[in-house]
Amino acid sequence: MMYGCIGEHLPHSFSAEIHRMIGRYDYALQEIAPEHLDAFMRARGFLGINVTIPYKQAVIPYLDTVSDTARAIGAVNTIVNRDGALHGYNTDFDGLTRLIARLGLNVRGKKALILGTGGTSKTALYALRALGAAQAIRVSRTGREGAITYQDAARLHADAQVILNTTPCGMYPRIDEAPISLAAFPQLEGVADAIYNPLRSRLILEARARGIKAAGGLYMLVAQAVRAAEIFTDTPCPDGLTDGIYGRLLRQKQNIALIGMPGSGKSTVAAELGFRLGREVIDTDRVIEAQAGRPIPELFASEGEGYFRDLESRIIAGLAGRSGLILSTGGGAVLRAENVTALRQNSRLYWLDRPQEALLPTDDRPLADSREKIARLYQQRQPIYQSAADEIIPVAGTAREAAQEIESRWNTCASL
């Protein structure tokens, strides 16, 4: 491996994809068990590597030089081999400061809480001090290593204005977790999370639901990788490269989720979109039927709507952690807030808003098998669809036209 990333567990890393987009060298992922790190570092058989959990501090003794920033932080995530000498840097600092700037979050003079005590927490501490934060306090479950506990954070620092999460809590595959509740911090102005998988952690979704500026770690990941590439090759990258790669990666990883009334055309539009974008299409109603072993009308008749909704929620939760999909959801999927939250973690939600008079009753939809039921459902659900949707797609023509409209908007979407 000439260039790559080392860590203990890397199955869901995006780093190789990002460096391929940078396009300057071949880049590989290499998982290394703790007992093999010493041999790997002593062999020095690489030109440039990124270092991730849990080795950002463990690699430092093997380095011939450490940059001032990395030394002050006490963590290294980028190493370059120059004529056999290893030089360590911390490009997480560059990534985090760029994320904070992109978020439009002014931390100068503010009180900030840093969740976690690992290598990234040290980067966050240094970055906040460099940006002029009045206080930067690390928080952990145990309160060791100079940190305070989560209980003390809520009790003593309810006036915190910034929270940065550097823990893995909420990271794939345990995406339904959050390290802390934001209810205890009424003066919060901004939240940033180093987690990038899922694209929006539960912490980020809670912050946004409260009207707080918030962003996950994807932009930070891309920005630090671009800076690492500059160090690897000793050559500046073009202006705009970080934003360009971020937009491309976001579109690759983010799902397209279609919501809307029964009969609005979700399944047909999803199939058309799958063909146009070359993506896997999953229809949650079809998954439900496959798992239940019977059609939905029979499921409703034998088990009732509550059973159906529980099964639907389990299926959506299972799909929430996947990426690059087109999801066609059932008409009532958004009735449960937990489903909307799960979908939002990795999806952009498009509401197919077909006029009520164009919705036709069918026997295979138990809740929409008459015009009276459709009218009642439409009135009940319209505000829910509107609230859940990231984009509203008026559907007056063909499924192809609706798919074209979604594709057009999708190709210009470059923000989480």
pLDDT per residue as tens digits for the range 266-292: 999 999 999 999 999 999 999 999 999
Task: Give the span between the Cα atoms of 371 and 377, in whole angstroms.
Answer: 10
Residue 366 has pLDDT above 80, yes or no: no
List the structure tokens of 18: 């990002």
Q: Which of 56, 111, 122, 253 does the annotation list as catalytic?
A: 56
Delimit the CATH 3.40.50.10860 region(s) of the chain.
3-89
Q: Say whether pLDDT at 361 is over 80.
A: no
Which CA distances in Å does 202 have to 325, 372, 397, 406? Answer: 20, 38, 37, 26
Has residue 190 got a pLDDT over 90? yes
Count other Cβ atoms within 10 Å, centred on residue 61.
8
Instruction: Give CATH 3.40.50.720 domain extents, the chain.
Output: 94-216
What pLDDT, on a 0 to 100 scale, did the predictor assign at position 412? 82
Give CB contacts under 8 A, 24+ apart, made by 81-87: 81/44, 81/46, 81/47, 81/48, 84/44, 86/41, 86/44, 86/62, 87/63
364 band by pLDDT with thresholds 50, 70 and 90? low
CB 157 within 8 A of CB 114: no
What token pair was written down for 163? 């929270």
- CA pair distance 203, 216, nearest whole angstrom: 9
Nearest to 159 by CA among 110, 104, 107: 110
pLDDT for 416 beyond 70: no
For 278-337, what is each residue's pLDDT tens digit?
Answer: 999 999 999 999 999 999 989 988 999 899 999 999 999 999 889 999 999 999 999 999
Domain covering 254-411 in this structure, CATH number? 3.40.50.300
Tell me the pLDDT tens digit for each residue of 231-268: 999 999 999 999 999 999 999 999 999 999 988 999 99
Q: Is the pLDDT of residue 414 over 60?
A: no
Q: Return d(Cα 191, Cα 108) in angstroms, integer.
A: 15
The average pLDDT across 193-219 equals 96
Domain 94-216 sits in CATH 3.10.20.30: no
Considering the chain, tell me which residue range(s) the CATH 3.40.50.300 domain(s) occupy.
Answer: 254-411
Using one digit for the tens of pLDDT, what is the confidence trace for 121-156?
A: 999 999 999 999 999 999 999 988 889 999 999 999
Active-site residue flag, 253: no
Write down the mean pLDDT value for the chain: 94
Share of the chain above pLDDT 90, in %: 86
Question: What class has domain 3-89?
Answer: alpha beta
pLDDT value at position 415? 60
